[in-house]
Amino acid sequence: QQQVKQSPQSLIVQKGGISIINCAYENTAFDYFPWYQQFPGKGPALLIAIRPDVSEKKEGRFTISFNKSAKQFSLHIMDSQPGDSATYFCAATNTGTASKLTFGTGTRLQVTL
């Protein structure tokens, strides 16, 4: 049972373009939605996270948009750079479960010159 569905599986964006990765969840008890970034040969690292009391969170070129009624959230990378090339995972949890995260299947982003 996949509780967090992520798309697309892979994405190619030109330098300077906007990268958009989408996730949908099923469990309405989820109340914390992080995005993790993983470079080849490394472990994932927290990029940005949002709680459902806001519809958008922005940190630099990275923005999470959250739609509670649709049970969807997305990551937007503005002005995408080659250094953003990585695999991105969305995740979700109910904070009452002591941070046990459910991850999406990942999106491999390649930013070309």
**106 touching other proteins, by CB under 8 A:** yes
Q: Contact with other proteins (CB under 8 A): which of 9, 69, 70, 83?
A: 9
Token representation of residue 15: 């330098």
Please say which residue, 69 or 100, places its beta carbon nearer to other proteins.
100
Q: Contact with other proteins (CB under 8 A): which of 18, 29, 45, 78?
A: 45
Please say which residue, 17 or 32, places its beta carbon nearer to other proteins.
32
**41 touching other proteins, by CB under 8 A:** yes
**For the residues of 60-107, what is the DSSP string, one character each?**
TTEEEEEETTTTEEEEEESS--GGG-EEEEEEEB-GGGTT--EE---E
Q: Tokens 């922005």 belong to which residue?
A: 58
Half-sphere exposure of 43 (CA within 13 A, CB side): 2
Binding mask 70-89 for other proteins (x = CB under 8 A): -------------------x
Residue (of 85, 108, 112) closest to 9 by Cα position: 108
Half-sphere exposure of 113 (CA within 13 A, CB side): 0
**104 touching other proteins, by CB under 8 A:** yes
Q: Which residues here bind other proteins, judged by CB under 8 A?
A: 6, 9, 32, 34, 36, 41-46, 49, 89, 93, 95, 98-106
